[in-house]
Amino acid sequence: MTETLFTPFTAGAIEMANRVVMAPLTRNRADDDTGEVGELHVDYYRQRAGAGLIVSEATQISPQGKGYIATPGIHSDGQVAAWRRVTDAVHAAGGRIVVQLWHVGRISHVDLQPGGAAPVSSSARPAGVKTFTREGFVETSAPRALEQGDIAGIVADYAHAAACAKKAGFDGVEIHAANGYLIEQFLKDGCNDRGDAYGGSAENRARFLYEVVEAVLSVWEPGRVGIRLSPFSPANGISESDPMALYVPVIERLNGHGLSYLHMVEGATGGERYGEYDALRALWHGPYMGNNGYDRALAEERLASGAVDMVAFGRPFIANPDLVERLRADAPLAEGDRKTWYGGGAEGYTDYPALEKA
């Protein structure tokens, strides 16, 4: 049988009813003080449980990991209990959900950091981009370069957040190592100018990533741990002079862990598809999730060729809670209202109708 978007698939230990994945989407609707999700989130994720797998919105591993107003965490008892209502709802609707573990690094502002401290990064280089605070969109604050002795504490935060995710009932976790956030701030030479064991060579720059992966694997079985990479993307002001020299050995080493999947941003995040992502995909031994600019036709074409095993759709899930059924019927997709993407209440979040009601 020809594999299509609508055939079942097993990614590691995660059994999926279809190959449509809901990509992580930051929507800025958590409680800004506690980092807890609420009843709106329960409805939002339940509505989208027809996806073979939901990857939650990026969720910070610690108070220091926060970079935008009203984003959720997965490091406190209250956050665990709040997320449990979401995972229970998704499971009751027949879905699967993993949480994306996030530390933003330098993509933050002193107003969002505990005690008004400077954000942290691999180096003290400012990002030169904006973030979202109570004052609106503002320039990110200049970061502090992490001392080598600080790094083990952040690795431990990843393990703690992974344990919290297990308590919250998630089916697994995705390590966010893409889009210019902390792990990528170590990986890419356009940010990392360290002179110690975490800087310089590609191998040294990947050391933090490997330590995070091993910390998460101390909590979860490999078949329930995915990872997201964006080798060619300039997201959040970051660059890499030789992506293949960096990511070929990264992929080869990650192969040894037997992870649930590799989630690859193919090209520029939310932009043009470019770069040698298919060459990297060819090196990967496990399930592969393609992301960036997919529509139904491209998804089916790349599934049929074996280029992907699963396809992550992001923005289409905002206005199409029943996206899988719309794709199956080759029906028109609703357009989301950009004004309600970030922040607010139910409007533009849980009030988009399913196809039969539209």
> Where in the sequence numbering do the catalytic residues fall?
181
| Tally of CB atoms within 10 A around 81 | 12
Place of tokens 């091993």: 214
| Contact predicate 327/22, CB 8 Å | no
Which tokens sit at 159? 């393990």
Give SS3 for 10.
strand
| Contact predicate 106/119, CB 8 Å | yes
Which tokens sit at 302? 């790349």
| Contact predicate 144/115, CB 8 Å | no
**H helices present in 306-355, as ranges:** 316-319, 323-328
Give SS3 for 300.
helix
**H helices present in 93-147, as ranges:** none
For residue 346, give the DSSP letter: S
Q: Name which of 204, 46, 170, 43 is nearest 101 in CA terms.
A: 170
As a whole number of angstroms, the distance between CA 127 and CA 346 comes to 32
Q: Report the DSSP beta bridge partners of residue 264.
A: 229, 290
What is the residue-wise DSSP string for 242-273?
A: -HHHHHHHHHHHHHTTT-SEEEEE-SSTTS--
Cα-to-chain-centroid distance, residue 16: 18
**H helices present in the chain, as ranges:** 39-47, 77-92, 148-167, 182-187, 202-205, 207-217, 243-255, 277-283, 296-305, 316-319, 323-328
| Contact predicate 208/198, CB 8 Å | yes
| Tally of CB atoms within 10 A around 258 | 14
